[in-house]
Copies of this chain bind each other. A is one copy, B any other.
Amino acid sequence: MSQPNEIVTKIVLDNWRGQLAQANDLLNKLTDTDLEKEIAPGKNRGIYLLGHLTAVHDRMLPLLGFGEQKYAHLNDAFLVKADREVNDLPSTSDLREIWKDTNDNLTSHLGKLSADEWMQKHTSVSDEDFAKEPHRNRMNVVVGRTLHLANHLGQLLLLKQK
């Protein structure tokens, strides 16, 4: 019988992997031309959401204490600025590769965490605050980012042809 914390980390990691698998399945079906389209009239384009999710996931590396952000050149176009504010975006092909590399790297780190390590603080909370608010841990970050992914995945699904 597994310990409760191991059960919980399995739930969180399974759901993270599950949302990523759904996103990858969708991205494999969408052409580069599909990703150039807006998810709805006047709203973000698919390519912007792909870059945005990639940058957010890349920034999880330092936040979770796994290392430096690897693709910081994406931040301006996909985190600071809104869609269409930056003209020279990376190619869709490059973005697809960076997306895969980022998630592979991140998920590999997550898969190695012990139940106790999931409960450790993330890097943007101080020791003092963490003592008072012990839920501000790695698990909370991953649950929050899985929800963020689900949110934009719901939008990206609108690009799918019937």
Segment with Cβ contacts to B, from A10-18, A71-79, A104-112: A10-18
Q: Any chain B CB within 8 A of the CB of A21? A: no
A19 on the B face (CB < 8 A)? yes
A47 at the interface (CB under 8 A from B): no
Q: Tell me if A102 is interfacial: C-beta within 8 Å of chain B.
A: no
- Asked if B143 and A19 make an inter-chain contact with CB atoms under 8 angstroms apart, the answer reads no
Report A157 CB to chain B, min CB distance, Å. 8
Which secondary structure characterizes the binding site on chain A?
Answer: helix
Count of chain A residues with Cβ under 8 Å from any Cβ of B? 38
Q: Inside 8 A of A65's CB, which chain B residues have their CB?
A: none
Distance (whole angstroms) from the CB of A105 to the closest CB of chain B:
22
A residues whose Cβ falls under 8 Å from a Cβ of B? 1-2, 4-5, 7-8, 10-12, 14-15, 19, 39-43, 115, 119, 134-135, 137, 139-140, 143-144, 146-148, 150-155, 157-158, 162
- A148 shortest CB reach to chain B, Å: 8
Contacts of A43 in B (CB 8 A): 158
Given A150-B150, A154-B152, A155-B158, the answer on whether A134 and B7 have CB atoms closer than 8 Å is: yes
Output the nearest chain B residue to A160 by Cβ-Cβ distance: B43
CA separation between A107 and B130, bound complex, in Å? 26
Q: Among the listed B135, B148, B152, which residue makes an inter-chain contact with A11, where contact means beta carbons less than 8 Å apart?
A: B135
Task: Give complex CA distance A40, B157 in Å.
Answer: 11
8 contacts between A and B (CB under 8 A): A1-B134, A5-B8, A12-B143, A14-B135, A39-B158, A42-B162, A151-B157, A154-B154
